[in-house]
């Protein structure tokens, strides 16, 4: 059997893509606010991501604890890898979705929106709140046991 260069290149590319897809890493997103700063305290905030070439896939999970404080203003989270922030509307290239749920078991959809090259904000299509941005009091007044999960994809710098 003769192996051609194209077959070798394709096999190597496939092996490399499998390795990259299995190589998820953890990251600790920083959580800040446009107002008074929040504190995760005994809650849980964590993330995982994988970078394949210039594409970053990630997810963030947030679970409020009994002593978590939520600050004021809309929430801002750091990205695992700096984003390509060229151009004025780069945030349009950040995609993802997720959901939040409160103690009353009311679920709300959410999506990431790029804030700058190193952070993102969490938004919803419902715009009754502060322009639809997740905050200490939107889409509900946050309390112990409330949580959200969010997946995202964007282009790395």
Question: How far apart, in whole angstroms, are the C-alpha atoms of residue 55 and residue 155?
Answer: 5
Could you give all domains of the chain from N- to C-terminal order, each with its CATH number? Answer: 24-155 (2.60.90)
Question: How far apart, in whole angstroms, are the C-alpha atoms of residue 147 and residue 98?
Answer: 11
Q: With a threshold of 0.85, does the pTM exceed it?
A: no
* Beta-ladder partners of 150: 60, 98
Q: What is the pLDDT of residues 88-136, one digit of tens each?
A: 545 556 888 998 999 887 888 888 887 788 888 888 776 555 557 888 8
Question: How far apart, in whole angstroms, are the C-alpha atoms of residue 18 and residue 21?
Answer: 5
Secondary structure (3-state) at 69: strand
Which H helix or E strand runs over 62?
strand 55-63
With beta carbons less than 8 A apart as the criterion, state whether 130 and 138 touch: yes
Q: What is the pLDDT of residues 6-61, one digit of tens each?
A: 555 666 666 666 555 668 999 999 999 999 999 999 999 999 999 999 899 999 99
């Amino acid at each position: 059997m003769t192996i051609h260069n194209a077959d070798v290149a394709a096999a190597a590319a496939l092996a490399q893509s499998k390795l990259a897809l299995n190589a998820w890493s953890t990251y600790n997103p920083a959580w800040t606010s446009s107002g008074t700063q929040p504190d995760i305290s005994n809650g849980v905030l964590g993330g995982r991501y994988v970078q394949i070439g210039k594409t970053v896939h990630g997810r963030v999970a947030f679970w409020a604890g009994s002593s978590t404080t939520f600050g004021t203003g809309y929430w801002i989270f750091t990205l695992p890898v700096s984003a390509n922030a060229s151009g004025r509307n780069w945030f349009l290239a950040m995609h993802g979705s997720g959901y939040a749920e409160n103690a009353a078991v009311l679920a709300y959809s959410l999506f990431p929106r790029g804030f700058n090259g190193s952070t993102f904000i969490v938004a919803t299509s419902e715009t009754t709140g502060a322009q639809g941005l997740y905050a200490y009091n939107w889409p509900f007044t946050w309390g112990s046991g409330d949580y959200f999960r969010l997946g995202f994809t964007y282009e790395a710098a």
